[in-house]
C-alpha cells in the first residue's frame, strides 16, 4: 500500500479509469472487500477452535492497528483529526459488538451459514440509509434487496432448533448495519485513514477488558492465524470504506452477497462442509440480485442529463 492509496481509500490500487461511474467503482471495491472478508472468516474459524470470541475480536483490531501504523506515522497528527468524535465512538461501539458476535458465529456455525445469517443486515441497511442518510431508494432497489434476502433465508435451511450461534449472527447483523450507515456519513468529513485508525484503536481499547478476562495464551500457529485474520480484516474494512464512499450504501450493500458462494466453497475445501441445494440456489438468487442492482444503478447514472454549465 502507498500512503496516497490508504489515505484516499485504504488499499494500494491504481485509480479506476474515470469512464466507470462511481457506482461501478464502488461495486469493484465492495467485491474486493467481500473476498478479503471471506478469508477473514476462514482464519477466524480456524482460530476459534480454542480461543474465545472476545480474544479473537481484540486480536483482529490490534493486528489491524499494527498493519496501518506506518501510514498513521506518515500522516502524523492529521490522521487523528475527527470532526465528530461522538459519531466515531458510536461507530466503534457498534462494530466492537458486531465483531464479538460474528466471531462467535463463525466459530460455531459453518462458514456458509454464518455469512448467510449476517446478511439479514441488508434489510436494516436499506431503511437506515433511506431514513437516516436520506438516500433515494426506488421500488426496484427495495424489491431486489428483498429478493436477495429471500435467497439468504433459503440458505438458512431453518430447522426450528434454537442455536446461540445463529442468534449471535443475527445480533452482529444489527450491529454492523448501524456501523455501515455511520461509515457512509463519516466519509463526508473524515478520511478513510482516520476511520480505519479509530475503528481499530478505539475497538482495541473497548475490547481489551473482555479479552483479558477470557485470555488463552495462543500457540505459535495460532499467532499466525490471528495475524492473517487481522490483516485480511483490515483489508476488508479498508475496501468497504472506499466503496461506501463512492456510492449509496443501499446500492452497494447487496454486493456483499458474493461472500456466500465464496464461503461455501472454502467451507467445502477446508472443512468438508457440503452445502445442499438450498445453499446453491440461494447463492444464485442473492448474487443475481446484487448484480442487477449494480447494473441498474450504472444504467441510471448514464441516463442522467449533464449538469448545466455556468
**pTM, entire model:** 0.73
pLDDT band at residue 219 under the 50/70/90 scheme: very high
Grid coordinates belonging to 128:
437506515
Asked, for residue 34, whether it belongs to a domain, the answer is no
Specify the pLDDT at position 302: 65
Task: Tell me, yes or no, whether 180 lies in a domain.
Answer: yes
* pLDDT value at residue 214: 92
Residue 239 pLDDT greater than 60, yes or no: yes
Whether the predicted pLDDT of 54 surpasses 90:
yes
Between the alpha carbon of residue 234 and those of residues 2, 7, 188, 288, the distances in Å are: 15, 14, 21, 27
3-class SS letters over 230-275: HHHHHHHHHHHHHHHCCCCHHHHHHHHHHHHHHHHHHHHHHHCCCC
Which tops the pLDDT comparison, 254 or 234? 234
How does pLDDT run across 287-306, given as a tens digit for each residue?
A: 788 777 766 666 666 666 55
- Total domains in the chain come to 1
Is residue 219 in some structural domain?
yes
Name the nearest CA neighbour of 248 among 94, 120, 126, 88. 126
> Does residue 13 fall inside a structural domain?
no
Do the domain assignments include residue 308?
no
What pLDDT is recorded for position 297? 63
Q: Is the pLDDT of residue 227 over 70?
A: yes
**Residue-range definition of the domain harbouring residue 155:** 41-301
Give residues with Cβ within 8 angstroms of 33, minimum separation 6: 235, 236, 237, 239, 240, 243, 256
pLDDT surpasses 60 at 14: no
18: in domain: no
Rounded Cα distance between 195 and 190, Å, is: 7
Answer yes or no: are the C-beta atoms of 146 and 138 closer than 8 Å: no
What single DSSP character describes residue 310?
-
Enter the C-alpha cell of residue 102. Answer: 460474528
- Distance in angstroms (rounded) separating the CA atoms of residues 261 and 275: 10
Q: Is residue 62 part of a domain?
A: yes
Per-residue model confidence as pLDDT tens digits over 35-51: 999 999 999 999 988 89
Say what percent of the chain tops pLDDT 90. Answer: 19
pLDDT confidence tier of residue 3, bands split at 50, 70 and 90: very low
What pLDDT does 60 receive?
85
Amino acid at each position: 500500500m502507498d500512503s496516497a492509496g490508504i489515505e484516499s481509500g485504504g488499499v494500494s490500487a491504481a485509480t479506476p479509469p474515470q469512464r466507470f461511474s462511481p457506482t461501478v467503482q464502488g461495486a469493484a471495491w465492495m467485491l474486493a472487500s467481500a473476498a478479503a472478508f471471506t478469508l477473514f472468516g476462514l482464519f477466524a474459524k480456524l482460530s476459534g477452535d480454542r480461543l474465545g470470541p472476545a480474544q479473537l475480536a481484540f486480536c483482529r483490531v490490534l493486528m489491524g492497528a499494527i498493519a496501518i501504523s506506518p501510514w498513521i506515522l506518515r500522516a502524523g497528527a492529521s490522521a487523528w483529526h475527527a470532526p465528530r468524535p461522538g459519531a466515531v465512538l458510536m461507530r466503534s461501539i457498534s462494530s466492537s459488538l458486531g465483531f464479538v458476535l460474528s466471531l462467535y458465529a463463525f466459530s460455531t456455525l459453518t462458514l456458509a451459514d454464518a455469512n448467510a445469517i449476517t446478511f439479514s443486515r441488508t434489510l436494516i441497511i436499506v431503511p437506515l440509509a433511506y431514513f437516516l442518510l436520506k438516500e433515494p431508494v426506488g421500488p426496484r432497489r427495495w424489491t431486489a434487496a428483498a429478493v436477495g434476502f429471500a435467497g439468504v433465508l433459503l440458505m438458512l435451511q431453518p430447522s426450528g432448533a434454537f442455536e446461540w450461534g445463529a442468534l449471535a449472527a443475527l445480533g452482529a447483523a444489527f450491529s454492523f448495519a448501524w456501523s455501515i450507515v455511520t461509515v457512509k456519513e463519516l466519509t463526508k468529513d473524515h478520511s478513510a485513514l482516520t476511520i480505519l485508525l479509530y475503528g481499530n484503536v478505539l475497538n482495541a481499547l473497548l475490547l481489551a477488558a473482555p479479552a483479558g478476562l477470557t485470555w488463552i495464551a495462543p500457540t505459535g500457529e495460532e499467532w499466525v492465524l490471528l495475524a492473517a485474520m487481522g490483516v485480511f480484516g483490515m483489508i476488508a474494512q479498508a475496501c468497504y470504506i472506499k466503496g461506501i464512499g463512492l456510492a449509496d450504501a443501499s446500492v452497494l450493500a447487496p454486493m456483499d452477497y458474493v461472500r456466500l458462494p465464496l464461503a461455501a466453497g472454502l467451507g467445502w475445501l477446508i472443512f468438508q462442509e457440503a452445502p445442499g441445494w438450498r445453499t446453491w440456489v440461494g447463492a444464485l438468487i442473492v448474487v443475481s440480485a446484487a448484480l442487477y442492482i449494480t447494473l441498474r444503478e450504472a444504467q441510471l447514472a448514464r441516463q442522467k442529463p449533464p449538469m448545466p454549465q455556468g
